[in-house]
Structure 1
């Protein structure tokens, strides 16, 4: 039992009851230990216990905790070291520790305290947390206070992608250098580093090749968030010559060409008709007929386009009035209006002479439809493969 004095502890009187309220601070009470079976008491060993009342801690609400966004792609998220607020919340009290909570219910119940307080990632912006101060000796807790987290977005901007600075192929001087940069308005400052020196304007003119770097600072918040980007320009010039070499003869089983760009200092890529761009000028297994090859500087300093034709013949045609393959002709000879094309039946009878620039044969003879069967042709032309006059004979099918 516990007693207010030694005498009462020895006499076994005045025992304190649960819910005892101290009368002084500190206050000493005395402990009587009695054997409940024998009633014996060691009167030479009356122990004492000092009761001390510690004040309830208080928590001071801190100023809004502001940080710049961690990542430019997520303007609402940052990593907060909540423990950096401890001193402001404790406000000089001794033997205190701070716990942080995500909800008021958790704070009131003192449960689910934030474990990673040194690297807390906010879940909304702004976000309200709750803090309580704990007396480390007594475990007493303060009332909760609000902690506001605010993420300030980076002043994100994008300079153009690395590019070629178009120059004259003869002089190497810049032509039509772009203006680059961005003006975000009031409250922002700009710092450029360029091949020509430094500048504090929102935009600069690209006049020489090299790297242009811009840092923008947002002065509208105390965090002064910054963001940087750079672009590198390399001098280049457009191609001036495009040579196309047909590497297979007319009427071959496959048609191949090689295109070569020259006369400039750029890096070039090639395109056949409306197809994909590629690094080489070799094109294989092409369909007969008219084509174009375009060569361009990969960074936009110009392009050249040249057309060519691959000569072959239609294997069949269907003059059925349905507008699908209604006539027959040699493919890829429109640029040779002097070429001659003769059509024969299987017995060698001449049915028609046509021009490669004309509509072709409609499958009639003297106005009468010819039957479905094979017909023969002879064509006299100049082969672009080697530039020599040639004659080619073969047959095709009329289908009805």
Structure 2
């Protein structure tokens, strides 16, 4: 960071504008502007010339004079000025940096005013009159700089001037904030160009560097218009005032590019409407000292953050102008030693070479202690004595508080790796966890005894293998490697080969379960945990047996015993000639029959003949079936033809003979009782009192017994 000293002389000269003369005219002469280009300016009273030396090194938490020598050469006709201004114009750290007269009591003709926001010290008369140049000289020699942070760094530039404008040594220009509430950008541009400063032509400030932006924005006494605009081409921002006019400093909106220095506030420029002019952002809005884009008028609301409050005038750099000498500068630099990266670690013992660079003019010293102590070496490089443990050294450039640490790292070589087991075994292919350790560091695993590429890093390694294999453990500690690798073997043993089974079991019977392999050890999952190759079971379920061979490798065989129930007929439902056999519990391994010979998977039978039948259900796999159940199918003929041709000569109910109490009553269409059939007479010949009845429809009612419902229907007599 840089510190600048700024001094100001009598403001009565600030707007003097005179033409170039071969010699200085008397003070009472009438002065006029010379209209020629590149005119030079001369004054009725020669401006004073300030000279200062004092580029010095500074250590934080101390005080140091800002000059080692300082003079003000002035016209005999002018012995003093209103004030002198000293400003930390570059590198200023607000709240930590301070400049002040060290012994103010020895300078009774001067009062000092410190303005921390601007980093400026103003020296003036306690009476409000002029201060003599000789008193200012003496006071400025007594001004000291201090910083309250032990970790401060960088350079501070001090500008010293006897003009009110801020002076920036890096540009040799002067900057002055002019307050003017509500002024437009156009009016500000014209007003700036009408101003002069000790003969230098004014213009709206242009900014091409970070230190210039900080002085004009963050350290100025106010904020306002600056000389940037994109009015000519939307999105292309140029400086349009002063000697930098035409310089493009920004392309695009907030995400644009910066061909030269730009310091837009967050989200700016937003290019809304006619916001074509650059303005330093009001304090408290976004980044302090940054810029935003406004219309020519800005906000018209009084007190609004975007109402213009003034403008910044820059003086210097116009064609034909000779830099003024009413300002001078010095700087202090906080010396910092910057060590190069730490040397690479070494194994076990040795020497290290450290190097560092430092601020120009500073002396680099090396120490064994973080603070205090005596330097063990001086110079940009330092070679340690032989060491066998990691050691920290320290380097500074003259300020004890700014010491930096450097580390000489010693890594020790580990001892031989120790395997958890010499040989690991695994039953069948799969993952196997092997282990090794060392006294320090970690284990690298290799597939080769020498060379090759590490396949795993860590004390534990779990490869998946399918055949016998050897891995090698290498002990390493941050690049320090034990020379010999330790072999670790893995042997793969065969597993017993078993085959799962599903076996049927007839209810109430017993079957034998077989592990399938001889000469092994066995453990069944039964409640008693049998340990034989074969076991009997009489219940369905899932059984497992762990079969273990001589290598202690085990396989598990699963046997599903599917117990088949004995079918039990619940009832037989007869609907005409359709018969349904219903079981107490249906299973898909049952089959059905109504004659004991022909079985089917469906329990429904169609067109079953009339008469007495037996219903059967059995197991398809051959397990014993259950008890049959009898049922009767009654067939009521739909018609009969009593013509003595031996075909359908009588009407009779097939199967009714199985119901000795059954009784069938026949009626004609008018409900007249025609005939009554019983077990002794189960057919009707179509006559009533031996007289043949005509062809027609007749109705019947069948009562089997008192427990069954009466069955009703009708049939036809055809002749």
TM class, shorter-length: 0.3 to 0.5
Which has the greater radius of gyration? 2
Q: Normalized against structure 2, the TM-score is what?
A: 0.28
